[in-house]
Structure 1
Amino acid sequence: MAGGFAIDGKVGGGRREFKGKITWYVWMCGIVAATSGLMFGYDVGISGGVTAMDDFL
């Protein structure tokens, strides 16, 4: 069944607790990745629009 779920009988839902912390390095990697994705998407949108306008000339 697509989108189904299962319930186990464990206390706390069977979640795992990790001792890892979100450090400044993790924050910076996330910010750089998000900024890069925005710039790439903007670039693709602009260059796609320019090539579409080239057909009209």
Structure 2
Amino acid sequence: MSLPYHIGNGVFGGLTPFIATLLTTIYTNDKLAGLMYPIIVAALCLVIGTLYIQNKIDPPIEA
């Protein structure tokens, strides 16, 4: 479980400053262009999390 965690943090967390700087240099008219990448990654994680969440509060009772 540690390897996917560290790969995810390295890719999405480590590349965030580079991608944000790249987006602000490409889209010079939009001052908030660097925020597109973190917002898109957070929205994607929210969608994936809500699709694959399981109800662990009340597991089915087996008789």
**Higher share in helix:** 2
Please confirm whether the aligned pair reaches a TM-score higher than 0.5, indicating the same fold: no
Greater C-alpha radius of gyration: 1
Between 1 and 2, higher relative CO (CA 8 Å, sep ≥ 6) is seen in 2
TM-score by length of 1: 0.38
